[in-house]
Homo-oligomer: A and B are copies of this chain.
Amino acid sequence: MPGTGHCRACSWRGMAAVGAAAKGPYKVQSAINPDIASERTAPGFPLEKLVNLLDGGAERTRIRRAVEHVVNGDTVFSRENEYFLTPTEQYELAVKRAVHLWQKMKELGWMDDGPELQFAYRIMGGNLAFGVHNGVFIPTITELGTDAQIAKWVPLAKDYQIIGTYAQTELGHGTYLRGLETTASFDPSNQDFILNTPKPSSIKWWPGDLGRSANHAVVLAQLYTQEKCHGMHAFIVQIRSLLDHSALPGVKIGDIGPKMAFEHVDNGYLILQNVRIPKENMLNRHSEVTSDGRYIKKSFDKINYIAMVLTRVKVIASEMVIPLSKACVIALRYSVVRRQSELKPGEMEAKILDYQTQQQKLLPQLATTFAFHFMSSSLETFCNQVKVQIKSKGDASSLPELHALSAGLKALISDACSAGVEVCRRACGGHGYSKLSGLPSLYTWVVASCTYEGENTVLQLQTARFLIKCLNKIDCGEPLPQSVSYLYEPVTSHCSAKEKSDFLKPFIYIESYKHRAHRLIKDAGIKLQSLLQSGVEQHVAWNSTSVQLARAAVAHCHYIVVKNFVETLEKLKFEPEIQQVVKMLCDLYALTGILDTTGDFLYDGYLTGKQLDLMTTSQQRLLSLVRKKAISIADALDYPDKQLNSAIGNYDGYVYQRLFEWVQKAPTNAKVNPAYEKYLKPRFRLAQSKL
């Protein structure tokens, strides 16, 4: 937005230009709203060190700011007026930006897998085209294709000479992959595959970059050869002409229309009617069809499987934690410049962040941001370790644990981030309902993550299935993977906390979470077992226990997140000032989580009502401590104004002036709506003589 040129890339405490705000009808008195300036006078911790911790080191902070400087200085990447664009304009801009970014990358030597791109994405909020092309189409060919296939397709794709989509989901099937219905039948007489969409439910639906951009697709289809189905395989299919972009014969293709968000992405549909593709377009690394039609399985594609898990894990950071952290920054800054009602009668109206109810809404979200930031880092590390194990030693024994963890954490984190963004949005009252606050689009963006990459309930039940298998292993005396080894450990039946300060001891709350997870998993296992023993069929028993199983999976993942937060904390022992801040957030996250679900802890008497009262006192004390540092902690998330793109979340705290200024540019103010001439003028004319 104009005039907010607060260049963080160059100067941490740069001048917040308020020139633009001053152009409004009322002059701004100082560069920073005194109500927010006063929040920054004594953060009590070295802010820059916290920035570095979040970035993963000072060097990465440097790189990030350099990237932000490039992005902020480039008009193509400007997000100014973005909230006024139509869906068609948003798509056009996203393509423009994607092509421009690709040119910039070549110019500046940024690598595909380097930190620069990740940082660029972080601040641009993903408003770029070709996410599926770059993030799924190319990696799928790389993982599932032979060297020859990679050599043929990947360079063209990386050079944007072709744009590809990944056509998996169909109208009738999403997360349940085995149910997909598109067919690819081998025809030995022609040495080609014939692809078909047999019925309405098999129309490919949702693939990104498909509706308007892609000329190629990796199509997932049931492979038929010698009259037998061999399950899902991937085929490269050209879908549009390279000459004029028209759909090729037998191909019907289009956009799937308006969505809750992601209007810049052309999610599309695809119908294939007897479309023939050459035999070599089946991605062949792990299986192939011989020229006489025999199907040969060459290897199990564990690496591809890891790639899928890694995608899911990366999405946690980029599509869930980032929106939540941006929402926190906006809502917290707004809450120290918004004054409403008298806290003390006769005094100045209070900052809304000084109300306990507002603290209870926002500060746990800030703590959650940190919890999930650390969790997603650890999960990515684990994922890479497993990848190395498989690649170097062929050891895939950690895959089930990794799958269960990533599935359950994806569900937990997407649910919590969506809820958290919405809490932040509503905490900003009416202004949080204006798109100009930036908050509505953060919600409609983040909440999609509850559905894609595996629907959350389905994922929770996958995690639960793993946990139940672990229970069975215990019965057989088999060893358990590290993240579930606690199921072997003895459980304490009562929390040992005696006074409120005890609840600030991490081992106390870790033990509580562990106890809950332990109990819920075992209880679900017992229910399942007793149903089976009473003669209920396996699938009925599973279904009848599924609500409890899903809850058990959530409790397991919640425990993992808290434990990981504490482990991160322990690594900070040489940075006591930072450790102290992070400790407060860790305590707040852990205690709020218990207080939100007290029933789970009271159920078997692990915690007593009296202990909960002590914990409530501790948590409320934490709220008042975190409140004092809240703006500095939010500042340490270090989002440049231009990319936060919120009229109420700027660093300088001038909310009302900026809202007024931005509104002036709304297209609805550009000209008189035709409704006036058509419907209103004839009626208003009648009143002229009467008033």
Contacts and interface: CB of A to CB of B under 8 A. Distances in A.
A668 B264 CA distance: 11
A537 B666 CA distance: 47
Contacts of A342: 539
Nearest to A92: B675
16 contacts: A84-B257, A95-B673, A156-B687, A163-B680, A171-B660, A174-B429, A179-B349, A215-B684, A242-B688, A257-B666, A257-B669, A357-B547, A433-B448, A433-B451, A598-B598, A599-B599
Contacts of A259: 433-435, 440
Interface string A667-691: 1110011111011110111111011
A156 B159 CA distance: 66
A201 interface: yes
Interface stretch (A111-119, A248-256, A505-513): A248-256
A188 interface: no
Contacts of A452: 430
Contact of A176 (B341, B598, B681): B341
A162 B686 CA distance: 9
A81 to B, nearest CB: 10
Nearest to A28: B200
A275 interface: no
Interface in A543-596: 543-547, 550
Contact of A203 (B162, B358, B660): B660
B357 A680 contact: no
Contacts of A597: 599
Contacts of A24: 200
Contact of A257 (B83, B260, B600, B612): B83
A87 to B, nearest CB: 6
A257 B663 contact: yes
A666 B255 contact: yes
Given A242-B684, A687-B161, A539 B255 contact: no
Contacts of A215: 684
Contact of A156 (B243, B432, B691): B691
B675 A343 contact: no
A455 interface: yes
A226 interface: no
A-B pairs, top 3 by smallest CB distance, nearest first, are A598-B599, A161-B687, A257-B666
B433 A245 contact: no
A663 B203 CA distance: 13
A467 to B, nearest CB: 16
A99 interface: yes
Given A242-B685, A245-B681, A546 B355 contact: yes
A24 B254 CA distance: 14
A673 B88 contact: yes
Contacts of A360: 547
Contacts of A448: 433
Given A92-B673, A242-B691, 9 more contacts: A129-B675, A156-B687, A161-B687, A162-B691, A200-B660, A212-B675, A242-B685, A266-B668, A358-B457
Interface stretch (A4-12, A481-489, A602-610): A602-610
A466 interface: no
A361 B257 CA distance: 27
Nearest to A434: B259
Contact of A161 (B174, B338, B440, B684): B684
Interface in A338-389: 338-345, 349, 354-358, 360-361
Contacts of A450: 426
A501 B675 CA distance: 60
B256 A434 contact: yes
A510 to B, nearest CB: 20
A630 interface: no
* Copies of this chain assembled into the complex: 2
Contacts of A83: 257-258
Contacts of A91: 668, 673, 675
A362 to B, nearest CB: 12
Contacts of A451: 426, 429-430, 432-433
A542 to B, nearest CB: 9
A95 B684 CA distance: 14
A674 B92 contact: yes
A496 interface: no
Contacts of A545: 356
Contacts of A429: 174-175, 451, 455
B666 A433 contact: no
A110 interface: no
Interface string A208-245: 00011101000000000000000000000010001101
Most interface-central of A179, A215, A667, A684 (chain B CB within 10 A) = A684
Nearest to A95: B675
A451 to B, nearest CB: 6
A257 B679 contact: no
Contact of A256 (B343, B663, B676): B663
The CB with the most chain B CB atoms within 10 A, among A205, A255, A260, is that of: A260
A664 interface: yes
A45 interface: no
A434 B201 contact: no
A177 to B, nearest CB: 10
A623 to B, nearest CB: 9
Nearest to A246: B672
A341 B179 contact: yes
A125 interface: no
A302 interface: no
Contact of A668 (B173, B174, B255): B255
B212 A546 contact: no
Interface string A456-500: 110001000000000000000000000000000000000000000
